[in-house]
Amino acid sequence: MATPTLWAVTILAVIALLVADFLITRRPHEVSMREALGWSAFYIALPLAFGGWVWAAFGAPTGVEYLTGYLVEKSLSVDNLFVFMLLLSAFAVPPALQQRVLLLGIAGALVLRGVFIALGAAVLANLSWAFLLFGGILLATAVKILVDQLRGGSHDVDVSSLRSVRLIRRFMPVTDDYRGPRLSVREQGRRMLTPLAVVVVAVFAADVVFAVDSVPAVYGITSDPYLVFATNAFALLGLRALYFVLQGALSKLVHLGYGLATILAFIGVKLVLHWAHGIWAGVPEIPTLASLGVIVGVLAVVTATSLWATRGAGGDPTDEGGTGDEERRQVTAQP
């Protein structure tokens, strides 16, 4: 649907939003709930307004595809926040630096998603069985999420086992403490990374895993690369503020894994049916509007059941994944 001009305007707008975020966070500070709510409202209103424009300019079917894709990406991004929260806790990131870590990770993730989206578009355009491949990836991911949820360890993060962290520590010395927002410093005549650089790489590496299921998931809703990019960009840009809004509430979404497994499995089946329909015309396809209804329904159900299951319960969400105080001390001592 997009012309080269629309692509250029959209990419420039995303860059401008990132630059504005970097300017806002240039002076590290602890994010208040009021600030987080304000930016969250902005990053929800902006994609919804964009969706209204898409609906008016390109018609209802395209508008529904965009809104459905955005909802899928937003729901997956909430699950991503669990891992980000555990990483920030495990690395003992000071509250004043947390939003800078998230912003740097988001900037890298946007570049990574752009590459994944371009590759996905090329594969789908030239290989008809790619829909079957993407469907298989989503079904396998859904099974993994479901198994992890049943085992109760869906958000376990072992920092010491992360390959990106081990690789950095092997080739670059790391300081023992944070040095404000600086990623590296020069000490005793040699360049050293700070723990901030290590946790940013860890967040970025985590997003590599997230992109493997999120990009095929939105391609299951729409085959338009522009809509895929727009939904990913809007979902990622709002993560920084959403993190601080949901920081205390994430632990209550105890059934979110079941919902995400259901959504990914549903979209995986949708992709497989789309592939089969291209070979056998009698195979039915799932309309996008029906997909929107299923996704909204699943999210509503798991949110309601999660809140019911955790009524009156408290707790620290950073402890849910099993990242204990002992491991945090080890990470802090050896960043």
d(CA 273, CA 101): 40
Structure token pair of residue 322 = 């099993």
Amino acid at 202: A
Q: Report DSSP state, residue 183.
A: S
Widest Cα–Cα separation across the chain: 72
Helix (H, G, I), strand (E, B) or coil at 187: strand
Spell out the residues 6+ positions from residue 200 whose beta carbon is closer than 8 angstroms to its own: 101, 104, 105, 108, 183
The pTM score is: 0.78
Spell out the residues 6+ positions from residue 113 whose beta carbon is closer than 8 angstroms to its own: 211, 214, 215, 229, 232, 233, 236
Q: Kindly give the pairing relationship between strand 190-193 and strand 184-187.
A: antiparallel
Residue with tokens 């491949």: 133
Give the model's pLDDT for residue 70: 93
Residue 328, judged by CB atoms within 10 A of its CB (0-12, 13-18, 19+), counts as middle
DSSP string, 238-294: THHHHHHHHTTTGGG-TTHHHHHHHHHHHHHHHHHHHHHHHH-TTS----HHHHHHH
Give the model's pLDDT for residue 330: 38
pLDDT per residue of the chain (335 residues) written in tens, 0 to 9: 778 899 999 999 999 999 988 888 777 777 888 888 888 899 999 999 999 999 999 999 999 999 999 999 888 887 777 778 778 877 888 888 888 888 888 888 888 888 888 888 888 877 778 888 888 888 988 898 888 888 775 455 555 555 666 777 777 777 877 888 888 888 877 888 888 888 888 888 777 777 777 888 888 898 899 999 999 999 888 888 888 887 766 667 788 888 888 988 998 898 898 888 888 888 888 888 888 889 889 989 988 998 898 886 654 444 444 433 433 333 333 33
Give the model's pLDDT for residue 6: 92
Give the model's pLDDT for residue 205: 77
Give the model's pLDDT for residue 29: 77
Spell out the residues 6+ positions from residue 34 whose beta carbon is closer than 8 angstroms to its own: none
DSSP string, 4-56: HHHHHHHHHHHHHHHHHHHHHTSS--PPPHHHHHHHHHHHHHHHHHHHHHHHH
